[in-house]
Copies of this chain bind each other. A is one copy, B any other.
Amino acid sequence: MTYAAPLDDMRFVLNRLAGLPEIATLPGFEDADPDLVEAILIEAGRFAGEVLAPLNSTGDRQGCRWFDGKVATPDGFPAAYQQFIEGGWHSMPASTDIGGQGMPALVSSAVAEMWKSANLAFSLCQMLTMGAVEALANHASDTLKQRFLPKMVAGEWTGTMNLTEPQAGSDLSAVRTRAEPDGDHYRLSGSKIFITWGEHDVAENVIHLVLARLPDAPQGTRGISLFIAPKFLVNPDGSLGARNDLVCASIEHKLGIHGSPTAVMSYGDKEGAVAYLVGEPNRGLEYMFTMMNHARLNVGLEGVAVSEAAYQHAVAYARGRVQGKPIGGAERDPIIHHPDVRRMLMDMRARTEAMRALAYCTAACMDRARHHPDPAVRAPNQGRVELLTPVVKGWCTESSILIASTGIQVHGGMGYVEETGAAQYLRDARITTIYEGTTGIQANDLLGRKLVRDKGLNAGALIRDMTAELDALALTNDADLSAIASAFKAALGAFEEATAWLLARYDSDPREAVAGAVPYLKLTGIVVGGWHMAHAARIARDLLSAGEENTAFLHAKIATARFYAEHVLPEAAASRDEITTGAGSTLALEEMSF
């Protein structure tokens, strides 16, 4: 499989839509000058295409192998990982104070998209490690930070998140893993499942972050604490000590991401696994949530990334495959000339570009929320991040399943044969709507915590910004922009109606409101994606008028935005109808009648 980073679109979104030039001026981002960012994008694209992409199907075919508690990753993974950390890619997203390069989340989002497109299974190792790094950097004691962080940031040691237990998935209040105090540390015992990269052979140590209960802990979510449990204990001088009492009991046989070992971890089969408390007791879930926004944005980016890879794969096939004479075409025309193949490719392309715009712009809000000197700028940006993070996570991943499936369809029968590679994208994408919180969880977060809790404050600000774009579009008489504006206006209206309905209904009948949560998440994604696409088309038109070069790209952006407006935005009204008229029928059937 080949992959070429979509640098033109990435640059456009970074610089024109998401505001990188402005973000690069914020305190802490002094190093993110345009030349360096450009160099990073080019080199990352090269690494993704040349090193990671060739291992994607190897990893899928071979998978990971478990034997006696050890896990062998696919051929080529350990060497590629070594190259990855030696090239500094692992530490790149971290801030400078902990050994990273201090790049904005916006820039590291683009780079992360490349790793995920090229090799989703491989990319998860870094993602989980950096999530653990973020949790430790924010909440661990200086001693723990000094002992673990530098090697984790560098990628010499990797990190994991141990949340799920068989009876505790979406509902973490049911966690049972126990932590007993034992001098200056604790002893863990219990089982954790679905531990991504929980055991492997690419690095010498694995630092597990584990949710567990202290003996006197209150029931439910307020009795869960966060612990560090390293695979090998770490001596005071930083060298590796004894093997800890934790073991990978097995790995899962999954639909996809075969190159990523998903471990069942067993803690404390003997004397209890040595573990260190992070922060204060009983605040583990809260600590996990501080890193949740970033992790969820990252999984949303997986949706963008797999979609982009599936699109590139489908385009390459459609350019090369000759089959039948297209209507209005010539005898030996490849199938890309068939109108329905174009429809499929445009659908994949338009949704992917909208998703990329949404994800990067949300990352930019995160940068402003964290780094802008003015609290009056930070606050609304933080509000926007919180509102849209579940949408990035839920909508981009749900869309990626459809897009990857369409990619198979473009290939016809060859798409069903595994060697072609198209099917892997569907299998890989299929986890993204589940882990790091299912789409249902994201939608409940969007509705309950993000829309209703502030009584629509952040949603109102979003609607105002989108209305402003509509006003700007109204000033042109360009045919494409007018068509886009017309579709966007209708979709925005549907979003406003659904938002108002949900705000009114949530208090009086929360079950009916929640029945529309996932349709609302989808509606939000479609409309906000449409906003960014409309904005992008207007910018592209302005650049063309101003004589900008790269005209092919700009014309394509306008054509793609119009496709999105005419083919995707009409779905908004259907989602609105589901929410505002369909709640009763969602809940009507008796349980016994299913």
Chain A positions within 8 Å of B, measured between CB atoms, are 164, 167, 169-171, 173-174, 193-194, 252-256, 315, 318-319, 322-324, 327-328, 336-343, 345-346, 349, 401, 405, 408-409, 412-413, 415-419, 423, 426-427, 430-431, 433-435, 438-440, 443-444, 483, 487, 510-512, 514-515, 517-518, 552-553, 555-556, 559-560, 562-563, 565-567, 570-571, 573-574, 577-578, 581-582, 585-594
Contacts and interface: CB of A to CB of B under 8 A. Distances in A.
A590 B588 CA distance: 49
A578 B566 contact: yes
A581 B578 CA distance: 23
A340 B518 contact: yes
A552 B587 contact: no
Nearest to A553: B593
Contacts of A193: 413
A438 B412 contact: yes
Contacts of A565: 585
Contacts of A346: 585-586, 589
A171 B323 contact: yes
A562 to B, nearest CB: 5
A255 B418 contact: yes
A19 to B, nearest CB: 26
B559 A570 contact: no
Contact of A515 (B343, B412, B552): B343
A413 B327 contact: no
Contact of A433 (B339, B409, B552): B409
Q: Which of A511, A566, A577, A589 has the most CB of B within 10 A?
A: A589
Contacts of A588: 559, 562-563
Contacts of A341: 440
Given A571-B574, A590-B556, A169 B581 contact: no
Given A346-B586, A518-B340, A585-B566, A408 B430 contact: yes
Closest 7 CB pairs of A and B: A171-B324, A566-B582, A570-B574, A570-B577, A556-B593, A563-B585, A340-B440
A20 B52 CA distance: 59
A573 B487 CA distance: 13
Nearest to A61: B253
Contact of A419 (B253, B322, B443, B556): B253
B413 A434 contact: yes
Contact of A345 (B345, B511, B559, B594): B594
A567 B552 contact: no
Given A340-B440, A587-B342, A323 B170 contact: yes
Nearest to A174: B323
A418 B435 CA distance: 16
Nearest to A517: B340
B254 A336 contact: no
Contacts of A349: 594
A491 to B, nearest CB: 10
A485 to B, nearest CB: 13
B510 A412 contact: no
B434 A586 contact: no
Contact of A170 (B252, B324, B511, B515): B324
Given A327-B514, A340-B514, A515-B339, A567 B578 contact: yes
Nearest to A323: B171
7 contacts: A171-B323, A318-B594, A327-B511, A415-B434, A562-B588, A563-B582, A567-B582
